[in-house]
């Protein structure tokens, strides 16, 4: 499987288009219109398994 990792929009996305995985981890510092900050992890062993980690910060 091929994987395209992209960002800039700060919107977390995991989407498969054909045999290509699209992955945007979101943003750990600028959540824009999202409810939570996030970052991404790609687990790569025999396949690619994407994961988002969402969290809130305290003021």
Going from N- to C-terminal start, the domains of the chain cover 2-55
Backbone angles phi, psi at 15, to 5 degrees: -145, 140
> With 80 as the cut, is the pLDDT of residue 59 above it?
no
Left, alpha or beta for 10 (phi > 0: left; psi -120 to 50: alpha)? Answer: left
pLDDT of 11-47, one tens digit each?
Answer: 999 999 999 999 999 999 998 889 999 999 999 999 9
pTM over 0.75: yes
- Is the alpha carbon torsion for 6, 19, 1, 55 positive or negative? positive
Q: Smallest Cα–Cα separation from 26: which of 58, 1, 50?
A: 50
């Amino acid at each position: 499987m091929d994987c395209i990792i992209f960002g800039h929009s700060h919107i977390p996305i995991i989407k498969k288009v054909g045999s290509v995985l699209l992955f945007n981890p979101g943003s750990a510092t600028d959540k824009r219109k999202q409810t939570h900050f996030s970052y991404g992890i790609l687990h790569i062993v025999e396949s690619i398994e994407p994961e988002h980690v969402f969290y809130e910060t305290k003021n």
